[in-house]
Structure 1
Amino acid sequence: MSDAALLFDVVREAGELGLGLSRKKNLKHWTKPDGSHVTEGDLAINALFEQRLRAARPGDGWLSEETPDDPQTRMAHDRLWIIDPIDGTRAFLEGRREWCVAAALAVKGRPVLAAVFTPRHDEFFIAALGEGATLNGARLLIPDQASLEGAHIAGNRKALASLAPLGIAADPSGSLPLQLRLAHVAAGRLAGAVSIGKRNDWDLAAGELLVLEAGGRVSGVSGEGYIYNRAEPWQQGLVAAGAKRHAALIDALNIQRTP
């Protein structure tokens, strides 16, 4: 089975598993030392990825939010699977719709395959390097312009506050996980997504490829591109949009941050 067929099959299966568990009464859940939530659904989906995807590609590297990381072993591989069993665990736990399963394959630090599945909406976003991005089979292409006036931009409050004087339509999407913000940018539902601070690789890799293959750009807040499979599995901030609007957002954010 090809990498793409394997990834897409497992992500869909994982989403269906999560959908069933999300309807379970008295779902077991815990709080991690960092204050974030984890449920038996996160762990069950992670186990499925381990059993299906990792077992099929034992020679590849592995990075998952719910698997203890071994940077030395991980970085020894050019190929890395980057998994977020459930992005939006709080929504999953509370019975809301805005959660997803996300996974990507990165080669030499860059994503080449991606899938983001939202079971409650039955929306399956996929992308392959050089082959475009689709939503349920329909090609995605980001509408793009340089103006930020009235642009629907999602992000954390710190980033949005610095853009407020430019007349954006701010969307403090605390309930929308990062992978879905990126998927919605790729689908043209959001004009952009911004965030200041460290963001984990598993929250970004799949969504980044969706945006890139839909004609957009993704970077840190200073415009630097992402490189995955480093010792510290996180990136410094997020700016995602169509190419022209991305440049305008980078300029605006850096002007606002200049003393």
Structure 2
Amino acid sequence: MSETALPTTPSWDEDLALIIAAAVAAGDTALGYFRRTVDVRWKNEGRSPVSEADLAANDILRTRLLGARPDYGWLSEETDDDETRLTRDTVFVVDPIDGTRAFIEGKELWCVSVAVVHRGLPAAGVLYAPALEELFQATHDSEACKNGEPIVVRDPGERLHLAVADDVVKKLHSPYRERIERVPHVPSLAYRLAMIADGRIDGTIVKKNSHDWDLAAADLILARAGGALRGLDGLPLSYNRPIVSHGFLGAASGQALPSLLAATRALEAH
């Protein structure tokens, strides 16, 4: 599906304003819990934490967004999946706190991620990192901005600054592995993609089992900044499907992406 499937209408700008306001409200509420003792429970057989801040932010997003757009579908990490979303052309795809572990540990690298997805493609997206005072935004036909200023990916050099797990780097083949300058761990996947969009790093390899809510907003922001997030088939991702998890992915600026995907395909083959 190409971007031509998305109609260019003022509604996406209106939706962007809506999701920015909701993300800021949710993020500022979560910030009130930050570096304080919060209730935490575990889901997914004890693998994923969810805090009372996640739930409070989720409530704000759902109330504000569906209150304004009751005909839109809803997909959130912190809400039981309602498959009626599959019957809606347009869906809010939300992660109230992307990087919950970092949030719980008092680290600043977490953000609120909100996207408007239309017919499988992101039409508007925002990432709000309140502890860092950073807000990223884009629509499918606008430039990407950070705190109101346009951002673009950087041109990669011979050395590639990648956000890649150490166990993944060790499995990559030479000589690609020798080109990598591994950046410190970035606990929020959405924020990691934003770092590519604003030119701080060259790319990342995303392990299996990321989800729509981790990706949709950041995918759009990265694309409008001149980069791309792709599956190993080289194709753009489609969102709001029955299965919302994804396999290995690669994200980078245009010039760095082909070699990164090739290295990741070799990794997947082993």
Settle same-fold status: TM greater than 0.5. yes
From 155, 166, 170, the equivalent of 1:161 is: 170
Q: Is residue 221 from structure 1 mapped to residue 232 from structure 2 by the alignment?
A: yes
In the alignment, which residue of structure 1 is the partner of 2:210? 199
Give 3-state SS (helix, strand or coil) of 1:125's partner: strand
* 1:51-90 matched pairs, under 5 angstroms: 51-71=63-83, 73-90=84-101
Q: Tell me, in whole angstroms, the C-alpha distance in 2 between the residues paired with 1:64 and 1:184.
A: 23
Secondary structure at 2:246 match in 1: strand
Q: Is the 8 A contact 1:111 1:129 kept in 2?
A: yes
Identity over aligned pairs, percent = 36
Shift of 1:158: 4.5
Deviates more, 1:30-39 or 1:157-166: 157-166
Give, in angstroms, the shift of residue 176 of structure 1: 2.2
Q: CA deviation at 1:172?
A: 6.0
Q: Which of residues 78, 83, 103 is equivalent to 2:114?
A: 103
Deviation at 1:66, TM superposition (A): 0.3
Partner of 2:25: 13
Aligned partner of 2:195 in structure 1 is 184
**Please, which of 100, 124, 128 is the counterpart of residue 117 of structure 1?**
128
| 3-state SS of paired residue (2:207) | strand
1:103 aligned counterpart, secondary structure? strand
- CA deviation string 1:53-109 (max 9, x = no partner): 1111110110000000022x0100010100000011111112111111111001000
Three-state SS of the structure 2 residue aligned to 1:219 is: strand
Q: 2: CA distance between counterparts of 1:60 and 1:217?
A: 26
Q: Does residue 1:4 correspond to 2:22, yes or no?
A: no
CA contact 2:35–2:105 (8 Å) conserved in 1: no
Query: Partner of 1:31 in structure 2?
Result: 42
Match of 2:4 in 1: none
Q: CA deviation at 1:170?
A: 2.1
Q: CA deviation at 1:221?
A: 2.8
CA contact (8 A) 1:160 1:194 kept: no
| Paired residue secondary structure (1:161) | helix
What are structure 1's unaligned runs of at least 5 residues? none
3-state DSSP class of the match of 1:249?
Answer: helix
Q: What SS does the corresponding residue of 1:49 show, helix, strand or coil?
A: helix
Deviation at 1:21, TM superposition (A): 1.4
- Give the TM-score, by structure 2 length: 0.89
RMSD: 1.7
Count of residues paired in the alignment: 254
**What is the distance in 2 between the residues matched to 1:88 and 1:221?**
24
Q: Is the contact between residue 185 and residue 191 of structure 1 (CA under 8 Å) also seen in structure 2?
A: yes
Partner amino acid for 1:13? A
- How far has the Cα of 1:155 moved from its partner? 2.4
Distance in 1, matches of 2:159 and 2:52, equals: 41
- Structure 2 unaligned runs (5+)? 1-10
**Once structures 1 and 2 are overlaid, which stretch shifts more, 163-172 or 189-198?**
163-172
Quote the offset at 1:255 in angstroms: 3.8
Distance 2:237 2:33 in 1: 33
> How has the CA–CA distance of structure 1 residues 85 and 258 changed in structure 2, closer, same or farther, with 3 Å as cutoff?
closer
Whether the 8 Å contact between 2:207 and 2:247 is mirrored in structure 1 is: yes
Q: Report if aligned partners of 1:158, 1:196 keep a CA contact under 8 Å in 2.
A: no
Give deviations 1:168-203, integer Å, cap 9, x for gaps.
112362x42100100001011111011231211100
Q: State whether residues 196 and 221 of structure 1, in contact with CA within 8 Å, keep that contact through their aligned partners in structure 2.
A: no
Write the distance in 2 (CA, Å) between the matches of 1:30 and 1:258.
Answer: 36
- The answer (yes or no) to whether the contact 1:16–1:119 under 8 Å persists in 2 is yes
The 3 A distance-change label for structure 1 pair 228 and 12 is same
In structure 1, what is the equivalent of residue 7 of structure 2? none
